[in-house]
Structure 1
């Protein structure tokens, strides 16, 4: 509510600046926006259009040049009030954030430029089932490598939070383990860092209005996973691999060095995507996830850092070379190679454009980004990293480090 009120103050001040051309100062204070202290008329012809979690209320304004805005006051759940304001130039006010599908009273006022409020007009809205409840109905939780996987559907792409809890022996209570906020229409992510002991997990959905769903509870035994032993990795050079550039050879990709002062894998400029490297991980693994470190500092979100890329795998004893496509669906088989995942590196967390990242964005790059591999992916002994597009859109690619996790077969 505080942010909303601050925003409305800015809108209010903007309207003052745009609509009042004869504003004068008196000892440093602004004069009233209007000297007309009469009570404004009420809105008429009120109509309600309900939608999931809210309602649009349309109306006819009184015939007066002294109206500044229409104000709606309502409760979204017991003890929690909201108010929404709509400019004189709009004939609709949006009321939202209701906790359930039910009847709610909304009180509407017109407010004059002298900040005089009209008599109230009461209307009843009946919002449809709020998104956080309908999303919870599609939510499932199951075992994953080192933790649990959560799936849900958010077809309206609303801002929601997926909160995962787990039993903590030290507190003898269910404690929050992860808070995942998203507007994605399909939710599929994992919370890791647990051993294989059976324990109680829970998941619930919340929204930006503070509404909270019931909790789904389930006893789950996480699947075993381990960090693949990089000492067993080795290059597996294929003819279609992209030429190495600047001496940044492939073994740099698993030497444990992720800072900007070290060397990684770097292809030679002048090639077309995908930019590909191939290596042997030493054993056959059912992979669960990987962490990718891109080149940080002045190269963060630029240069040859991957923006869109894929992992391909093979469990053939000596897989043959194949020219990989720039893009393909997960599960696509090309010769001895199977697409085990398509990925897009996250945008700068700051919200800034890639060409203007800040120190927090660089810290995000330096920390490495975790990417999941589907449980449906086949076991692999060999990996191909194929970069389809870099942040600069150039003709080369580079990566500092990769760490893979999974279960040996």
Structure 2
């Protein structure tokens, strides 16, 4: 019994010592003065910002360094870095003017030093540099905007339309991207001369200049799907589809509830054939990905070819087929495999990945979808829906 009492007493002392030691580690002395200022500040301009490097004060009370700066009149931002680094990144500027930045040393007791003042002059911000590369042209059913974004900045491309002809402007479409380059179309418009505007916005609400043009969208309609049927040729995907996910699901219009999937045992490349039931002059098409495991992942289709014919080879060969184009599915964010944003999902699942033909195709009745690469599967291909636009020839 005596040994038990001694053991309990020892544990109590050990616990008390541990608590008192922890308390000393966490102790903050409110009486300590603010740390000294940072010194030897060097500002290196970046697109829409700057990188600051500096010499830290030799003060045990230092917790972090804080920069305070104004990116727009009355709109201030803060940037912080710990005592273990000598670098701060400033972002959010929408111009190339000279801006004053205040650098504070902050103590563990949250006392601030007097500010160290430094002036920075940002390089051209992405909203301006990307705008300079942007080109707006008429396309089928609307207007197309192409652009280069070498810094992969998070941007919104905004297209507006004069809905009355009297400068009554409304947003026709907004495209969010962080991709290296892009090709974006706003559609669903009549084939008549209209006024359009385009500008670029970033996440700090900095805006570029505005491009205004009068353009005439090219005539097109969505090709009715009521005459579409599968055409099974000898060399087509032999196991046509996983159970319950046939080719006709590509045009059933029921979303995630119905989709096409080839067999898990299939290999790439593989192809399927669709009979439109009429000859059409295609202008563009959309591929809709299935949400969950096949949106920019898994068996989602990444790289493919589209071929057209009016008299397919009976033996399933390729002599009577013409290549209409080779396509890669765009991910607006530009993020690597395994990462995607809400905008990526909305584009691929709800809006549909939009594809233009590199050259105007000839009128065709039959198309062949040749799948070359998925995002990570070895053979299975999953597509939720496909839609086509153009003109009915006969």
Q: TM-score, normalised by structure 2?
A: 0.80
Change (3 A) 1:48 1:343: same
Alignment of 1:47-86 (within 5 A): 47-86=42-81
Of 313, 323, 330, the match for 2:307: 313
Alignment-derived partner of residue 22 in structure 1:
22
| Distance 1:219-1:247 versus aligned 2 partners, 3 A rule | same
Q: Assess, with a 3 A threshold, how the Cα gap between structure 1 residues 343 and 303 changes in structure 2: closer, same or farther.
A: closer
Within-5 A mapping of 1:290-305: 290-292=286-288, 294=290, 301=295, 305=299
Q: 1:376 is matched with which residue?
A: 359
- Name the CA shift for 1:170/1:23 in 2 (closer, same or farther; >3 Å): farther
TM-score (norm 1): 0.78
Shift in Å, 1:187 = 1.5
Distance 1:322 1:157, change over 3 A: farther
- Corresponding residue of 2:164: 169
Give the aligned length. Answer: 369
Change (3 A) 1:23 1:210: farther
Cα distance, 1:166–1:61 mapped onto 2, change above 3 Å: same
Q: Distance in 1 between matches of 2:166 and 2:23?
A: 62
1:398 CA drift (Å): 4.3
Deviations for 1:369-404, whole angstroms, at most 9, x for unmatched residues? 242223524235121112334466144334454221
* Structure 1 runs not aligned, ≥5 long: 1-19, 25-30, 325-333
Structure 2 residue matching 1:231: 3-state secondary structure: coil
RMSD (CA atoms): 3.7
Q: Which residue of 1 aligns with 2:12?
A: none
Q: Which runs of 4+ in 1 moved over 6 A?
A: 320-324, 360-366
CA distance in 2, matches of 1:268, 1:106: 60
Alignment of 1:149-168 (within 5 A): 149-168=144-163
378-387 vs 194-203, which moves further: 378-387
Aligned pairs for 1:1-400 within 5 A: 22-23=22-23, 33-169=28-164, 173-243=168-238, 244-245=240-241, 246=243, 249-258=246-255, 260=257, 265-281=260-276, 282-292=278-288, 294=290, 301=295, 305-318=299-312, 336-344=321-329, 367=350, 369-374=352-357, 376-381=359-364, 382-390=366-374, 393-400=377-384
Structure 2: unaligned runs, 5 residues or longer: 1-19
Could you report, residue by residue, the CA deviation over 1:245-291 in whole angstroms, capped at 9, with x for unpaired residues? 4475544433445452x5x5443443311231012322131332224
Structure 2 contact 45–121 (Cα < 8 Å) conserved:
yes
Maintained 8 Å contact 1:320/1:335:
no
TM superposition shift of 1:313: 2.1
Instruction: Give yes or no for contact 1:304–1:391 (8 Å, CA) kept in 2.
Output: yes
Q: Distance in 2 between matches of 1:162 and 1:174?
A: 16
Structure 1 residue 338 displacement after superposition = 0.9
Q: Deviations over 1:1-33 (max 9, x none)?
A: xxxxxxxxxxxxxxxxxxx97348xxxxxx973
Whose Rg is larger? 2
Aligned to 1:12: none
Structure 1 residues 375, 203: closer, same or farther in 2, change over 3 A?
farther
